[in-house]
């Protein structure tokens, strides 16, 4: 099957379902004429303003405005002033929810390691210029190549959100336990 972009309806579903179902899909970035791509092997779900680990927990800001937009858009931000992180906006309708893309199995044109959200963005050349990009019709997109999803999916705690109280203990990180490319087994 030739790869096809995922439809908007895929992203308009519940955030946890999208986070799980992104595993095995292909993240593609056409970076200045170079195709860079990897199979998604790890994600984290962020459930909107009620989720204390979510960027929208304190309301809408210029930084997180993309999270309140249409499902199927990218929310790219800079963490620690050094590393870009790429999220997929889910649900839509101003929900303020998204899925962080944590790790990829490199497939094509990756410039470096892809095990971790900052490394993933560096490897694919994803920067703040892609914040708000439509993942259905832009140089940054998510495709389905017809490959079967992982045989097993493991749910674990999200990484780096200890400040979020009980939300830090929620098992909202999803990974392919058979992949050597996850950021932390």
pLDDT digits (tens, 9 = 90+) for 32-89: 899 999 999 999 999 999 999 999 999 999 999 999 999 999 999 999 889 999 999 9
3-state secondary structure of 8: helix
Q: The CATH number of 4-174 is which of 3.40.50.300, 3.40.50.620, 3.30.428.10, 3.10.300.10?
A: 3.10.300.10
pLDDT band at 2 (very low <50, low <70, confident <90, very high): confident
Rounded Cα–Cα distance for residues 185 and 88 (Å): 22
Say if CB 32 and CB 130 are below 8 A apart. Answer: no
pTM value is 0.97
Among the ranges given (1-5, 95-99, 144-148), the one the predictor scored with the smallest mean pLDDT: 1-5
Please, what's the b/e burial string for 55-94 (b: 16 or more CB within 10 A of its CB; e: otherwise)? bbbeeeeeebebbbbbbbbbbbbeeeeeebbbbbbbbbee
Say if CB 169 and CB 158 are below 8 A apart. Answer: no
Q: What is the pLDDT of residue 185?
A: 66
């Amino acid at each position: 099957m030739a790869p096809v972009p995922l439809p908007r309806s895929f992203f308009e579903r519940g955030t946890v379902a999208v986070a799980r179902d992104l595993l095995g899909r292909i993240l593609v970035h056409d970076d200045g004429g170079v195709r860079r791509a990897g199979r998604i092997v790890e994600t984290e779900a962020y459930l909107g303003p009620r989720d204390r680990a979510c960027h929208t927990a304190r309301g809408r800001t210029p930084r997180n405005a993309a999270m309140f937009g249409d499902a199927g858009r990218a929310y790219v931000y800079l963490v620690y002033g050094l590393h870009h992180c790429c999220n997929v906006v889910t649900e839509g309708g101003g929900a303020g929810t998204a899925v962080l893309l944590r790790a990829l199995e490199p497939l094509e044109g990756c410039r470096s390691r892809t095990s971790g959200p900052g490394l993933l963005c560096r490897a694919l050349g994803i920067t703040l210029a892609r914040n708000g990009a439509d993942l259905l019709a832009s140089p940054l997109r998510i495709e389905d190549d017809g490959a079967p999803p992982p045989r097993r999916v493991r749910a674990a705690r999200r990484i780096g959100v200890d400040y979020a109280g009980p939300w830090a203990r929620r098992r909202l990180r999803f990974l392919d336990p058979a992949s050597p490319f996850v950021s932390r087994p």
